[in-house]
Structure 1
Amino acid sequence: MNIRKIVTVVEEIRSEGGREVWPPARVAVVAAVIDNPWAGQGFVPDLTAGIDANASDLGALLSPLVLEALKAPAEAYGKAAIVGLDGEIEHGSALIHTLKFGDHFRKAANATTLLPAVEKRGPTGVAFDIPLKHITDASIRSHHQTVEVRVADAPHPGEIVVALAAAAQGRPQQRLAPLSTEQ
């Protein structure tokens, strides 16, 4: 696996809806910009070799970094794979939609739910939204949120941006009734 760069973004929300958020709401994202292991090979019918060579290492690398950047226990989390224009969306999906990748984050965050995800193909500098959900109960509405990310010089056409995101809380100023009130 060739990593060109790692980008860390920490967002601290101090005001929402004209009201102070205290303590500030924190969301962290760590993204690795890697060479697409299938770039230049045409259609690859079996992606297993690239998954085996990269997915677990990526999960093991990014999981502690995003939790360290958050500086608090994670309550919500998500993942992303943004594929450069010379790749397929399936290339990004292959790396992040495997337990070899996601279990590292689940274990590090003491989580049990599946990681919500975004995967897409885009040009260098494309913005993408990472969906987040609660780490142990995906039906907790307060933790359904999204963080927007952009790596200015990535992905190049033959690269993939693989990212993990974590939030230390639900949405600032959330006030929706629990899902159970509608069932």
Structure 2
Amino acid sequence: MTEKPTTFEELGASLGIRRLTLVHEEVVSEAGTELTRPVQKAAAIAVLRNPWTGTGPDRDLSPETRTIAPVLAALLSQRLTDSLGGADNIEAFGKAALVGTGGELEHAGALVHTPYFGNLVRELLGGTSIICFTDGRVPEGTSVHVPMWHKTHAANRDHYQTIDVDLADAPHADEICVIAAASTGPRPFPRIGDRRTDQPVTTDILKGLI
């Protein structure tokens, strides 16, 4: 009889996770000027076996989604809160899913675009906004810009930002990379206004330009 996993790491390994990594950076200055409050950004990355490799487009993805996505949400969110000092310190979040060349784009989406991942990440990071994202089918050794915005006020342009993630040996053709990202603050020296205070802009501004 197989023993029941006692940690999410053990459970993740049993579900095909090959590697868990974390990227952490601290932005302390911009354009030669030091920030009053340095901003920390982090991305937690899981590389796992694609459970749908070799299946066709008529395959129901929901059983594996319900099993795997919540574990990924728990593992990645915990690494973000540990890295950034807790959910209360996090102001922005984002996500990404990249499937290897042997899989469908929908395989990536199945692990991040349902409540089994998104709802849990929102709850664990203290957010309410829809989580912005990027996804795709990519070769091994890809770099990705993971977008983020404010975790409770998605229209706040100050928090529109990215974190760069280099995937040295992933995803293999039969793997998926799932990433959750977060930031403790806005872009350096934000000053392009906000959607809530924008003046009305229409195509009328194009008239007379040519």
For the aligned pair, the TM-score class normalised by the smaller chain equals: over 0.9
> Any conservation in 2 of the 1:38–1:44 contact (CA below 8 Å)?
no
Alignment partners' CA distance in 1, 2:67 and 2:23: 27
Q: For the residues of structure 2 that align with 1:50 and 1:182, how far apart are their CA atoms?
A: 44
**1:86-125 maps to which residues of 2 (within 5 A)?**
86-125=102-141
Does the 8 A contact of 1:7 with 1:151 survive in 2? Answer: no
Aligned alpha-carbon RMSD (Å): 1.3
Q: Using structure 1 for the length normalisation, give the TM-score.
A: 0.95
Q: How does 1:135-174 map to 2 (within 5 A)?
A: 135-174=151-190
Match of 2:30 in 1: 16
What's the TM-score, normalizing by structure 2?
0.83
* 1:37-52 correspondence to structure 2 within 5 Å: 37-52=51-66
**Does 44-53 or 152-161 show the bigger shift?**
44-53
Return 5+ residue gaps in structure 1 as ranges.
none
Q: Which amino acid aligns with 1:55?
A: A
Between 1:92-101 and 1:15-24, the stretch displaced more is 15-24
Structure 2 residues without counterparts, runs of 5 or longer:
1-14, 200-210
User: Does structure 1 residue 83 correspond to structure 2 residue 99?
Assistant: yes
Larger Rg: 2
Question: What percentage of aligned pairs have identical amino acids?
Answer: 40
For residues 102 and 39 of structure 1, what CA distance do their matches in structure 2 show?
Answer: 23
Greater RCO (CA < 8 Å, at least 6 residues apart): 1
SS of match in other structure, 1:106: helix
> Aligned with 1:62: secondary structure?
helix
Measure how far apart 1:178 and its partner are.
2.3
